[in-house]
Amino acid sequence: MKIIKNYLTFIIGLFFMALGIDLIIKSSLGTSPISSLPYVISTNVPFSLGEVTFVVNMFFLFLQWVILRDRLGKMQILQIPMTLIFAMFIDNAMQLLEQIPVPDIYMLYLMVLLLGCLSMGIGITCEILGRVVMLPGEGIVNAIAINWHLDFGRTKVVFDCFLVLTASLLSLVCSQTIVGIREGTIISALLTGMIVKFILSTIMRLQK
């Protein structure tokens, strides 16, 4: 029964994470760092954001295997179906949000961005509480941290910066302008982690 609860919690988390990514994009103020590279690629290829997200994450999973080899546990194969569900949620939520217009008012854009950060925070919290598996975006950071004995949090920050920088350079090459990287990218990077810490600490206090 506990395993079912964990998987359900994890999948609910995937939905909120996908919704959060789409809300941040909907705000027109940028993308979240983890989705910056898939977003830029999706604007230059005939594939949806969810489809590109799946492909990019499979590349991250491959890199995990390259780094860890036999140390990559067999359970990590679950990253594939979970990423597929995550990608489907991204595309479905995007289609839903496309039906909701947002007036061209900066404060409204900012509100949508904050809702996106909140949704991502809830989703990441559920992912942590579910304890099923890491998505490849976190899995590759974990693999790097394990193999080179680095701090996960600091490695995550560096990896996110690398994704944003790569996305910016790719955008400049393909579109001669930077697409999807704005103030919202920085806000989401800073705020989402704070939301996760707040929710987790609140749950721990309630449990005590």
Q: What is the mean pLDDT of the chain?
A: 94
- C-alpha torsion angle, residues 6, 8, 10, 11 (rounded to 10): 160
Residue 44, CB half-sphere, CA atoms under 13 Å: how many? 17
Q: Are 113 and 29 in contact (CB under 8 A)?
A: yes
Q: Is the pLDDT of residue 24 over 90?
A: yes
CA atoms of 101 and 118, how far apart (whole Å): 20
**Mean pLDDT to the nearest integer, 156-183:** 93
pTM of the predicted protein model: 0.94
| Residue 80: other Cβ atoms inside 10 A | 14
pLDDT tens figures, 63-120:
999 999 989 988 899 999 999 999 999 999 999 999 988 889 999 999 999 999 999 9
Amino acid at 153: G
Specify the pLDDT at position 102.
86
In degrees to the nearest 10, what's the CA dihedral of 155, 39, 195, 7?
-90
